[in-house]
Structure formats: C-alpha cells, structure tokens
C-alpha cells in the first residue's frame, strides 16, 4: 500500500464498499494500523474540495475524490488496488485537501 493508490474499502453499514485514495505518507504506512483516506464518489459537485477522476486516471467511470470527508480507517478493511494516481492528480488532491481544511483560500 502506498500514498496515491486508489483501493477498495469496506465501510460499515449503512455505507458500502467504495474506492478510497490513500493519503497517509509512505514512511508511516508500515507502522500504522489505521490510515487516512479520502472517499471516491460518483456524485460530482465540481467544487474546490473535489478532484475529478475518470478512465484516463484508471477509474472505470467519471467520479471525484471528496476531500470534505477525509477519515482515518482500519488498515485491515482496505482491499484491492484499483489504480495509482499520478503526481499531477495528487498535487490537485493536496490543493483540495488544503482548501477543505481551511489552509488555502
């Protein structure tokens, strides 16, 4: 598992299994039982706290990383790899996360 990977995560009911982007820094991943992720949703709102993804990013459909709903989750519930986001997309994720947390206007 590495930062920038999109993997399946099995959320607790009533939510469902959905893709998440791994946000935790690589140097910490081997030492933590929990990791910080951002969910990927098919609901695209085109707002500054989202990053659009699609087939060119290795996703099966148009979707968005939702940085308003970042959470720390159990590493044990993280599943298979879907794709790995490139540096440009992760730079956009970083910007959206900073905006979501109020560190960027």
> Domain spans of the chain?
5-100
CB 27 within 8 A of CB 10: no
The dihedral sign for the CA sequence 82, 86, 91, 96: negative
Q: Indicate whether this model's pTM tops 0.75.
A: yes
In the predicted model, is pLDDT for residue 47 greater than 90?
yes
5-100 fold: SH3 type barrels. (2.30.30)
- Per DSSP (E only), the strands in 11-57 are 17-22, 34-41, 50-53
In the predicted model, is pLDDT for residue 14 greater than 90?
no
Q: Mean of the pLDDT values across residues 52-56? A: 98
In the predicted model, is pLDDT for residue 15 greater than 90?
no
- Residue 36's SS3 state is strand
Give the C-alpha separation, 14 to 21, whole Å: 20
- pLDDT at residue 11, rounded to an integer: 85
CB 5 within 8 A of CB 18: no
């Amino acid at each position: 598992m590495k930062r920038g990977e999109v993997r399946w995560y099995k959320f607790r009911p009533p939510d469902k299994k959905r893709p998440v982007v791994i946000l935790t820094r690589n140097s910490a991943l081997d030492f933590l039982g929990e990791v910080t992720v951002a969910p990927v949703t098919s609901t695209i709102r085109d707002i500054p706290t989202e990053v659009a993804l699609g087939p060119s990013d290795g996703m099966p459909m148009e979707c968005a990383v939702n940085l308003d709903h970042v959470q720390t989750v159990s590493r044990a519930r993280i599943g298979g790899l879907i794709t790995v986001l490139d540096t440009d997309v992760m730079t956009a994720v970083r910007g959206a996360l900073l905006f979501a947390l109020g560190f960027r206007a």
